[in-house]
Chains A and B, each alone.
Chain A
């Protein structure tokens, strides 16, 4: 029997860190652990930016992306009339290292190999697409808390400096959309998201939101289709899932309106746009944009975006394309502190 223990969040440092994980810390949801792609330097190479390729290896797949307009859906539909967008999807830009400079590496990183080196304009734009400065319009108290988190992320002397995803908490919204690949499946009345950390059931049946005092990591989602766009109203946030290792957040007073805009021209692309409103934390609503691409059997498995293996098909009917297994997404806690566990010297 094989045992895989490497952890997606540790990569190179992981082998050392794993010895620090207590057996009792095995928590509820274990992913089939990924390859060592996660700690690849999130920045471009020092001189010329290295080429990126959609469907290629690694986390970063592109540095820019096209807008997609809401409108009619001309693609295939399911029996219940929903646009058929089922399958494996993943963001194309980066992981959750840095919310507003996605390919800029983790802020204040003491590891010289993970510090962004090229100019900002050579990297993907901020996930904050409005306001134009790409920054979250935090109220002063909230900005101070974010800066405090960033200053302590590599030195987590208090529990609140540990990014909760490292403790197997659901990634929440919007972080789930740029944390590993995920699977969308559809049913009459539902769209189901199986994220690497957490599961979301989008209700399309118009029932009312849960009562206000119920607070959830992924909130409570009510959706409907407008042409090529899945519009989802999310309430009941607990505000506990940070947006990344850069510490941005929403509170339990927040509200999120999501638009998943699927492309008619390129059936393997959609754009995620979410408007976040929270009078407790922000000075105004702002918009988050995340580009996504579909991964299919034509692609090579990727230890971050597309964690699949060919299934053991024993049926007699010839298949049009191979069936892929995505094994259970269960997390193993690894809160040993990030970047503290291995010294690395600068690469030449």
Chain B
């Protein structure tokens, strides 16, 4: 097939192009500065992530790209490079998990979601922030995760935790969180993507504007993956009138009909 020769721009056109590009660049730079200046901050000057947040992504259905299916909308995935670098044996396990996801997904049992799944699970979570820590209350299970920003490091004699142990520091206006000492009972998503207790997550939280956070997670687990991988999602601030978390202790639903006592015959 023949391609049309691209018409050469005339001199005035070139000038206009260059000029408008410069203008656009200047505007963009200005916007970035405006956003940086306007983000909420604590009295100590650090970015203040306090608020109720939620993603709109389809990450929890499947971190990897997927077509629609009965239990999930389609999604292009949230992983850099699209696919998870499973070790061969782990990939077999992932396939088994996927086949039995309607039975095995820990979220369906109401278990604590873990990290990073709690961040992009499709329910809101609230951040309560002080200079020394950020406390994340997830609506799902009302589970609580503390991110320490008080100059402490991981414990020397740790246990395994559902949410790991989170120690953070600031890099400019980004919060960088090192999370490890996990148990192996949580999944990354509803599609059966999983990890071992060797999971290590490094999160980076950054404001894009006062009501939007870019959340990035660098994930490594040498028992399951051949190399580290990265995901990112965008979190939006809930700004609806009177919006609040509503406790969602899903795991009590199987037995809570037995309480409280009721008058006989009612």
A contact set with B: CB distance below 8 Å:
1-4, 26-30, 32, 79, 141-142, 145-146, 148-149, 158-160, 162, 164, 167-170, 185, 187, 190, 192, 194, 198-199, 201, 203, 207-208, 210, 214, 216-218, 238-242, 249-252, 309, 311-317, 323, 325, 327-330
Contacts and interface: CB of A to CB of B under 8 A. Distances in A.
B135 A327 contact: no
Contacts of A142: 261, 263
Contacts, number: 165
Interface SS of A by simple majority: loop
B129 interface: yes
Interface string B131-144: 01001010001111
A170 B247 contact: yes
B179 to A, nearest CB: 12
Top 5 nearest A-B pairs by Cβ distance? A315-B151, A145-B261, A240-B259, A239-B260, A160-B258
A29 B261 contact: no
Given A192-B137, A311-B152, A325-B152, A187 B142 contact: no
A323 B150 contact: yes
Interface in B75-119: 109-112
B251 A159 contact: no
B261 A249 contact: yes
A242 B111 contact: no
Interface stretch (B9-17, B53-61, B160-168, B211-219): B160-168
A199 B128 contact: no
Contacts of A309: 155
Interface in B185-233: 185, 197
B112 A238 contact: no
A190 B245 CA distance: 13
B154 interface: yes
B171 interface: no
Interface residues of B, number: 55
Given A28-B110, A208-B242, A214-B246, A323 B152 contact: yes
Nearest to B162: A330
B156 interface: yes
A210 B246 contact: yes
Contacts of B158: 1-2
A54 B43 CA distance: 36
Nearest to A158: B258
B130 interface: yes
12 contacts: A26-B185, A27-B251, A32-B159, A141-B263, A141-B264, A164-B256, A170-B247, A170-B249, A192-B135, A217-B249, A242-B260, A313-B150
Nearest to A249: B260
B130 A187 contact: yes
Nearest to B241: A207
Contacts of B137: 192, 199, 201
Nearest to A187: B128
A53 B192 CA distance: 51
Contacts of B251: 27-28, 168
Q: Which of A32, A194, A312 has the most CB of B within 10 A?
A: A312
B129 A311 contact: no
B260 A27 contact: no
A314 B255 contact: no
Q: Which of B161, B256, B259 has the most CB of A within 10 A?
A: B259
Given A28-B111, A190-B128, A251-B262, 8 more contacts: A2-B158, A28-B112, A169-B249, A169-B256, A198-B247, A198-B249, A240-B252, A242-B259
